[in-house]
Structure 1
Amino acid sequence: MTTLIGPDFIALQVRDLAASRKFYLETYGFTAATHCPPGAVIFDTEPTPLALREPLHVLPEAGPLGIGMVLWVACADADALHDLIISRGGVILSPPADGPFGRFFVAADPDGYQITFHTAQSR
């Protein structure tokens, strides 16, 4: 019998890899891994790597990508990250609030992916 373990790698297909890479580094504050394969950027995230990549299939030219997908990214302090993203020109879709996983807010990337950032809870 096969047992599923859980997500092991997350990759978002983007329309403009260079622009999205710059946005995730400069606006969200991610750190890129030292080695990335051609056509992708991998970020130093734990425990699951997060990557951006050139599309494997044709993407719609307009409109948000990732409709229906919810990606939660843990951080040390959601309120501080929220303020930092605003100061860097990022788009906030939902202001900080308390939820079932602690303090969180939702931001949009250049392709319309909605990223939920939340304060990491001790396990």
Structure 2
Amino acid sequence: MTDASLVILYVADPPASAAFYRDLLGKPPVESSPTFAMLPFRDGLMLGLWSRRTVEPAAEAAGGATELAFTVAGPAEVDAVHRDWRSRGLPIAQAPADMDFGRTFVALDPDGHRLRVFAPEMP
């Protein structure tokens, strides 16, 4: 099996979403058009932002049905990222909490996609 190379979110406004993720991730888009934008994560994984109106075949999924998860080093970093994202005005769907898998919180992007930050609980 081949490795995953691209995660695609369907968005209302790819240039606006690209600006949001550029500011959030600190990395500029490597591709940008009115209907599609792409930004790099680490290790070659890319984030695609495709216009909901032009995706083929048409997709019915709406924001909130997708979650991107970001792993951080520990519980204190979860809280620090939460403070940073909250200060940037990101809507917070779940305040920092300790769950069975570790410390986590969930923010939302402009289309309602869930952005989970978590620190796995170490045995």
Residue 32 of structure 1, aligned match among 28, 44, 60: 28
TM-score under structure 1 normalisation? 0.71
Stretches (4+) displaced over 6 A: none
Alpha-carbon RMSD across the aligned residues, in angstroms, is 3.0
Post-superposition CA distance 1:51-86 (Å, at most 9, x none): 2222305677xxx5242x332122452211111111
Post-superposition CA distance 1:78-97 (Å, at most 9, x none): 21111111111110000112
Distance 1:82 1:74 in 2: 13
- What are structure 1's unaligned runs of at least 5 residues? none
Q: Offset of 1:121 from its aligned partner?
A: 7.9
Once the two structures are superposed, the pairs formed by residues 30-109 of structure 1 within 5 Å of their partners are 30-33=26-29, 35-36=30-31, 38=33, 39-47=35-43, 48-55=45-52, 56-57=55-56, 64-67=62-65, 69-76=66-73, 77-109=77-109
Q: Offset of 1:6 from its aligned partner?
A: 5.4
TM-score under structure 2 normalisation? 0.71
Q: Offset of 1:44 from its aligned partner?
A: 2.6
Q: Secondary structure at the match of 2:31?
A: coil
The change in CA–CA distance for 1:99 and 1:45 in structure 2 (over 3 A counts) is farther
Structure having the higher strand fraction is 2
Report how many aligned residue pairs link the two structures: 114
Q: Secondary structure at the match of 1:19?
A: helix
Identity %, equivalent residues: 28
- What are structure 2's unaligned runs of at least 5 residues? none
Distance 1:22 1:74 in 2: 22
